[in-house]
Amino acid sequence: LEEQDPRPSPLRVEDLALGQVFEVGSRAITREEIISFAAQYDPQPFHVDEAAGEASLFKGLVASGLQTFAITVRLLMESPLYLTGGLIITRGEIQWRRPVRPGNVLHLRIEVIDVAIDSEKDRAIVGLNIQTLNQNEEVVLIFAPRLLTERRTIKRD
Amino acid sequence: LEEQDPRPSPLRVEDLALGQVFEVGSRAITREEIISFAAQYDPQPFHVDEAAGEASLFKGLVASGLQTFAITVRLLMESPLYLTGGLIITRGEIQWRRPVRPGNVLHLRIEVIDVAIDSEKDRAIVGLNIQTLNQNEEVVLIFAPRLLTERRTIKRD
């Protein structure tokens, strides 16, 4: 990992240590993106209509939680934590903590909480605790996945 | 709920009982949908390239787990379980159990595992256990969300 490099190479699973924390990503979300994503995957009124949002618990238009989660996964895949052996998410606990609104800018704080290498199968299980934060450092989502990775390096696009 | 009606009206939270099971949805997924979704949200090689899929643990092209989850949420929102007061998912545990491949047809088996009505705030918390199954009745995903709903009826599109 070179700090100068804006797109650091992915890490090998052997490079991870418990308690390591990575701050990654920066992703703004627009009103248009919120509405178009929700229209396709989660067309609840408060995700697609400003007036319905105002009348809801949220007091305004808010992004689908599914979209916040998709952005979280995308930022993870673009980060150094996208290990050389790939990342297959096998399970995870998600908490949606705060609404995401138009103009919010999201980033991730990722802590390594488990690493278990199976030398026989040349696979490893990695546990992460991922906080997705907005531009005010407020946690909007917490995702604690268990991930399967191979120890060989997979081919990238 | 009238069995004749292909799009039954949403239920009120008061209509739910612990242990109730709903079988809902039918959604085929194509190779093109798998590749285009993954290109946008989860561009790992085994989600976007047939040869890379063959060379992977999956032995073939497979859908992003995020897409299987998105389809699960969409089928939930289209079901009678999309309660009259809306559904806000506050947290949930997800397990990805089996790969989803081109041509698979997905449906949901939803069990009501918790209903707690807060009369003072006119809100309720609902716990569901959702199994997403393929055309061979194999479980591909399990999602156990906690949902917040209002007791008033919200306006639909």
Whether A129 shows a pLDDT value over 90: the answer reads: yes
CB B105 within 8 A of CB B95: no
Find chain A residues with C-beta within 8 A of B92's C-beta: 93-94
Q: Measure CB to CB from residue A95 to each of B77, B91, B157 and give the nearest one.
A: B91
Rounded to a whole number of angstroms, the distance from the CA of A103 to the nearest CA of chain B is 20
Instruction: Give tens-digit pLDDT for A43-102.
Output: 888 999 999 999 988 999 999 999 999 999 999 988 989 888 888 899 999 999 999 999
Rounded to a whole number of angstroms, the distance from the CA of A99 to the nearest CA of chain B is 10
Helix (H, G, I), strand (E, B) or coil at B130: strand
Strands ordered across the beta sheet of A105-118 = A21-28, A105-118, A123-133, A139-150, A88-96, B88-96, B139-150, B123-133, B105-118, B21-28
Cα-based distances in Å from A13 to A1, A108, A116, B150 = 14, 19, 9, 45
Rounded to a whole number of angstroms, the distance from the CA of A90 to the nearest CA of chain B is 5
d(Cα B68, Cα B34) in Å, to the nearest integer? 10
Answer whether B157 sits within 8 Å of A56, measured CB to CB: no
Answer whether A44 sits within 8 Å of B92, measured CB to CB: no
Of B86, B83, B111, B90, nearest in space to B15 by CA: B83
Q: Measure CB to CB from residue A89 to each of B41, B45, B96 and give the nearest one.
A: B96
Q: Kindly compute the dihedral angle of the four CA atoms of residues B89, B93, B96, B101, in this order, to the nearest 10 degrees.
A: -10
Question: In the prediction, which pLDDT does B121 show?
Answer: 82
Round the average pLDDT of chain A to a whole number and report it.
Answer: 90
Answer whether A93 sits within 8 Å of B93, measured CB to CB: yes
Answer whether A91 sits within 8 Å of B88, measured CB to CB: no
Instruction: Give tens-digit pLDDT for A117-126.
Output: 998 888 999 9
Q: Measure CB to CB from residue B43 to each of A42, A46, A157 and give the nearest one.
A: A157
Answer whether B45 sits within 8 Å of A74, measured CB to CB: no
pLDDT means over runs of 10, chain B (157 residues): 50 93 96 92 89 92 95 91 87 97 98 93 94 98 95 66
Q: What is the ipTM of this complex?
A: 0.82
CB B40 within 8 A of CB B62: no
Q: What percent of chain A has pLDDT over 90?
A: 70
Q: What number of C-beta contacts closer than 8 Å exist between A and B?
A: 88
Question: In the prediction, which pLDDT does B2 show?
Answer: 39
Q: Measure CB to CB from residue A154 to each of B45, B70, B89 and give the nearest one.
A: B45
Whether A5 shows a pLDDT value over 70: the answer reads: no
Find chain B residues with C-beta within 8 A of A94's C-beta: 91-94
Answer whether A45 sits within 8 Å of B157, measured CB to CB: yes
With a CB-CB cutoff of 8 Å, which residues 25-44 of chain B face chain A? Answer: 41-44
pTM: 0.86
